[in-house]
Structure 1
Amino acid sequence: MLQIVNQTPLATGFSFFTDKTGAERVTLVVKAQLNLPADGEAVSLHPDPCEVLVQDLYHGEPGQSSLHLAGELVMEKTATDVALVGSAVAPGGIAVPQMPVSLTIGAQQHRLLVSGDRTWKQDLSGATEPVPFETMPITYERAFGGTLPPVKEDQAPAYCPENPVGTGFATKRAEARGAALPNIETIDQPLTHWQQKPPVAGFGFIDTSWQPRMALVGTYDETWQRNKAPLLPDDFNPDYFNAAHPDLIHQPFLQGGERVILDGFHADGPRTFTLPQLQLSAAFNLAGSKHPTAFDLWQVVFHPNQNRFTMAWGAGFAFGKMPSRLREVVIVDRNQFFAAAPSLGSAQSSEVPS
């Protein structure tokens, strides 16, 4: 039996994986749900328990909608995913036709332009004036992209491979006339012409079937079927496991301690705070020999309208092809950042079949 000893008050999850060499790996994820503090307040653990997500969650039907949250229990990550799930909120709660929003973490600022509903004019000379709004969901359904209905039954539909569920994608003038424009755009590349193909804008997660993630999955052809299946192909790129918008993938890993500014998500102004800096480590006990491994910060997800955010750290260990040798894993926070907090979302010690 494998025993997981969690000496932190945080949620934990683990899973076994087989890498492309055939070696067995175990991945551990530790997750905290935290209060989004008002200016001047300290970050604290949220009272509601959280769980490590083992699968992707969607805004609607999988394959027909964008990712709401990405599964956190993956084989590995090469960088920190940062995402924001929520809506733009007009200053003072007074409707506006357009407003900027921004997410700043460390030295990087990510800005979007949010507009009210509008359409292309029938002569395609420009767009109608945006309708004022008080709140606007920041989802890929409202960013540039989309899928067009096929002209013929046996014809594949034209679509935007970076965002097939979006708005504004057109290949012909007739498709663009009177069509909706995206509400969410990059602040320096707004849509000004119906033939323009701007970058997909957003703060959310990218689906596994969308580009650029899909290009990283590797080649599954007859050669792979004959020589490698069911292992991952040799050209599989582990960057595939990073699910954030490409602009929000932080490499090297964030460490905690970074300053965060969320602007445009609260009626009373921006929120400024510092990410907690935990020093998590795991000791893997293999038949008497201990192997210490540090955790990396895998994911930070802000939910500003709910005044909370989550952080997830991951650690992995490859133990060859003998999983029965792995007896115990001990998880500790060396600086005991939340030492006084009650346990949230995980047992302190548990046994699982090996």
Structure 2
Amino acid sequence: MLQTTDYTPFVTALAVFPDQEGVDTAFSVTKGTFDIGPEGIQVAEEQLPVVRADECWDEPGTSSIRYAAELGFTKPATDIVMTGHAYAPAERRGTSIDVGLMVGSRRKIIRVFGDRCWDRTLGIAHFTDPLPFAEMPLRYERAFGGRDQVSGRDGPQPRVYAANPIGHGFRVRGGEQALTGMPLPNLEDPKHLIDSPKDRPPPAGFGYIHPHWEPRRRYAGTYDEHWKKNRAPYLPADFDPRFNQAAHPDLIADGYLKGGEEVKIVNASKSGLLHFQLPRIRLSADFMIDGALHTRTPVWDTLVLEPDRHRFIAVWRASIPCDKQVLRVREVVVRCLDADIDLGIDLG
């Protein structure tokens, strides 16, 4: 039986499954939940469990991901994700506002509009003025994307915006969706603002990208007859590890976060600007395999910011190949070697 011994205040899970090369590998995931308070960063009293499968906001397939699966392959770099709402200051309600996120060298801005739709005047397409809003969900349902369909010999043929099938504003030439009255997205990239019904901007978001959406889908590899005969059930030879990155491409860090990075969140909290530094925490993971001890240093490969709740989540991951020794993997022991905040435990 796989066991975890966790000497940190966090939550650790252990699993064994083939890596992308088909080699049986032991993976450990340590997940820490932190409160963002007026006195700084503190370990949260409630430590969230490790997520074992993608959890959507609403019905799977028709809504965006709230929490992505965490017990999986190691990522090439840190995913930075933010969920929550945009909050319009009272003096700016009814106009657009910019929501900003900065984590170290990563910076992203999304322009948030009240509800609008397309209209026509003298045959010229334009959009209506945005309605006033106090808060707006920062979800891909509010970004550009969606579905349309065209008439074919065998009936309606669906057309889907591959980068965001659940958004709105997507319409194809000859499609059945009428332009007049069609909603525009609430979330836009200021560098790619919509000006024409023909525009196809990249979806603006801070959240997770579904595995079957672009750009992740292009990295999944080729699942054809050759794969069935020569590789299945393992991943195809052309699988790209970038598939494991679930954050928006603008929010994939250059390498792994180390701690100490500055974080700024603008217009995504009722309390105003959130400004803090990520804690520096150094972990070790000792894998017990066939009576031998193998020490690895976990990497920080996921950061989830939840400004609505004034908290963030850190996920560290470590792995070790254990081919032909799967049944002899017994335990992972996780310790905190160093930290620049009070973890409420003895370090070492």
TM-score with structure 2 setting the length: 0.92
1:314 to 314, 317, 327: 317
Pair 1:171-2:172 in alignment? yes
Stretch of structure 1 that moved more, 49-58 or 328-337:
328-337
The verdict on how the C-alpha distance between 1:19 and 1:156 changes in structure 2, with shifts beyond 3 A counting, is farther
AA in 2 matched with 1:205: Y
AA in 2 matched with 1:255: K
Deviation of the 1:267 alpha carbon: 3.8
CA–CA separation in structure 2 for the residues paired with 1:112 and 1:79: 23
Deviation of the 1:314 alpha carbon: 0.8
Pair 1:254-2:257 in alignment? yes
The verdict on how the C-alpha distance between 1:92 and 1:177 changes in structure 2, with shifts beyond 3 A counting, is closer
Pair 1:44-2:50 in alignment? no
Stretch of structure 1 that moved more, 241-250 or 148-157:
148-157
Match of 1:25 in 2: 25
Unaligned runs of 5+ residues in structure 1 are 344-354
CA–CA separation in structure 1 for the residues paired with 2:183 and 2:335: 51
AA in 1 matched with 2:159: A
Deviation of the 1:263 alpha carbon: 0.2
The verdict on how the C-alpha distance between 1:298 and 1:93 changes in structure 2, with shifts beyond 3 A counting, is farther
CA–CA separation in structure 2 for the residues paired with 1:267 and 1:232: 44
Report how many residues are paired. Answer: 341
Pair 1:99-2:102 in alignment? no
Deviation of the 1:77 alpha carbon: 1.0
CA–CA separation in structure 2 for the residues paired with 1:338 and 1:10: 14
Deviation of the 1:340 alpha carbon: 4.5
Instruction: Please give the per-residue CA displacement for 1:213-233, whole angstroms capped at 9, x wherever unaligned.
Output: 111111111111111111111
AA in 2 matched with 1:234: A
**Coordinate RMSD, CA, aligned:** 2.0
AA in 1 matched with 2:172: T
AA in 2 matched with 1:171: V
The equivalences for 1:138-153 within 5 A come to 138-152=138-152
SS at match of 2:250: helix
SS at match of 1:279: strand
CA–CA separation in structure 2 for the residues paired with 1:243 and 1:277: 23
CA–CA separation in structure 2 for the residues paired with 1:170 and 1:306: 36
Match of 1:201 in 2: 204
The verdict on how the C-alpha distance between 1:336 and 1:272 changes in structure 2, with shifts beyond 3 A counting, is closer
Greater share of strand: 2
The equivalences for 1:270-349 within 5 A come to 270-336=273-339, 340-341=343-344
AA in 1 matched with 2:163: E
CA–CA separation in structure 1 for the residues paired with 2:52 and 2:91: 37
Deviation of the 1:303 alpha carbon: 1.0
The verdict on how the C-alpha distance between 1:139 and 1:325 changes in structure 2, with shifts beyond 3 A counting, is same
CA–CA separation in structure 2 for the residues paired with 1:255 and 1:197: 36
Instruction: Please give the per-residue CA displacement for 1:60-98, whole angstroms capped at 9, x wherever unaligned.
Output: 211111112111111221111111111100125862321
CA–CA separation in structure 2 for the residues paired with 1:237 and 1:167: 30
Match of 1:183 in 2: 186
AA in 2 matched with 1:167: H
SS at match of 2:43: coil
CA–CA separation in structure 1 for the residues paired with 2:229 and 2:301: 34
CA–CA separation in structure 2 for the residues paired with 1:279 and 1:168: 45
AA in 2 matched with 1:296: V
